[in-house]
């Protein structure tokens, strides 16, 4: 189960990178 969430997290990070680093930093802070 944790593997699935890990892949999901990676996908979100990849999408965030495409959108902008600002979103990534904000997500990292909350996480």
For 7-26, the pLDDT digits (tens) are 998 898 888 788 776 665 66
**pLDDT number for residue 26:** 66
Task: Give yes or no for residue 2 having a pLDDT over 80.
Answer: no
Per-residue confidence band for 29, with pLDDT thresholds at 50, 70 and 90:
low
Against a cut of 0.75, is the pTM above it? no
CA distance 8 to 18: 16
**pLDDT number for residue 12:** 87
Task: Please name the residues in contact with 27: beta carbons below 8 A apart, sequence gap of 6 or more.
Answer: 12, 13, 16
**pLDDT number for residue 30:** 67
């Amino acid at each position: 189960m944790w593997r699935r969430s890990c892949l999901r997290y990676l996908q979100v990070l990849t999408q965030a990178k495409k959108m902008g680093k600002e979103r990534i930093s904000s997500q990292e802070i909350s996480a």
